[in-house]
Structure 1
């Protein structure tokens, strides 16, 4: 956590968690103005990793630049299966700016996917109508399965959907 001095050089934001449950996770994003306030050669060795000079002596405190965090490139989750023409359920949610649960709810409402299995032990499969929009992909074997495949329920196959699915959202 930033010290009282350090709080003027950062903001604390929620992180986007992939599973969307449990305790919220926060992370510190530092402003560029903190770089001018770092002591590069502390005279006394201490247990403190970063030394911040007095913010009153900083030229950037209170400026427009000081309030803007450094924007970092977000991790690219698209193409997690390296499929350029298809979305996984997670990728589709990220693409439209909604959660995976929302995507599943919409796809179930339109009867494109169905849950096969008992309780939490199971998976989603494409319905007859769903096969018009996508195909089943097994990432562990890097193979596609068609409707007649005997391994649909026993493999790690997951539904992946083409770009035409975006019309439903």
Structure 2
């Protein structure tokens, strides 16, 4: 849903994409999980994330083919809501929300070992710095220190007047995401330092912890 939303014009949040898939009859929600319907199954794959639930059953995730966009009706413009971030605070916490399971992005792509706040950026496949700390049971500051030690992120600016950016090495493990514009910036973007873009990291980052 994250990538599909980025391909839409205007861009849609992952939560909106899940609702559009539901409205098109391509998926239904069972308990906390989005599950493809018979109509939706030819348009997606169900992949193993390499993770496991608490009961050791494997965690699966739905990945939709790009051509599913032809089946979706765009949401109304006023449904696109984003939230701004405070880039002056190096250790700010996101607003608390619910935990959980599934490919639904108003929850979580996989079940965590502990209760976990929702990633306020609503991305299926990436951790914010705060969320990564919650996942490993440590503070955001600890995450930042480890990532800086391995030269995966760097602080740009003076004191609190700045932000973290991915290093050249860090781009192998994550992306820069701007929640205000609901888009990713590439490493050559001239707006990396002037936008609200923040580092988000994939599951491969866990090997450093």
TM range (shorter): 0.5 to 0.7
Aligned residue for 2:164, secondary structure, equals strand
Residue 152 (structure 1) shift: 0.2
Aligned match of 2:197? 157
Aligned residue for 1:147, secondary structure, equals coil
Aligned match of 2:121? 81
Aligned match of 1:91? 131
Aligned match of 2:166? 126
Residue 108 (structure 1) shift: 0.1
**Unaligned residue ranges in structure 1 (runs of 5+):** 1-17, 21-73
Of the candidates 141, 145, 160, which is equivalent to residue 185 of structure 2?
Answer: 145
Query: How many pairs are equivalent?
Result: 99
Aligned match of 2:143? 103
Give the whole-Å Cα distance in 2 for the aligned partners of 1:94 and 1:81.
15
Bigger relative contact order (CA 8 A; separation at least 6):
2
Q: Which whole-Å deviations, capped at 9, do the CAs of 1:26-85 have from their partners, x for residues lacking one?
A: xxxxxxxxxxxxxxxxxxxxxxxxxxxxxxxxxxxxxxxxxxxxxxxx985233211010
The structure with the largest alpha-carbon Rg is: 1
What are the residue-to-residue correspondences of 1:5-24 with 2, within 5 Å?
none
Divergent runs of 4+, >3 A: none
Q: Which whole-Å deviations, capped at 9, do the CAs of 1:82-141 have from their partners, x for residues lacking one?
A: 101000000000000000000000000000000001111000000000000000000111
What is the TM-score of this pair, normalised by structure 2? 0.45
Give the whole-Å Cα distance in 2 for the aligned partners of 1:19 and 1:86.
18
CA RMSD in angstroms, aligned pairs only = 1.9
What is the TM-score of this pair, normalised by structure 1? 0.55
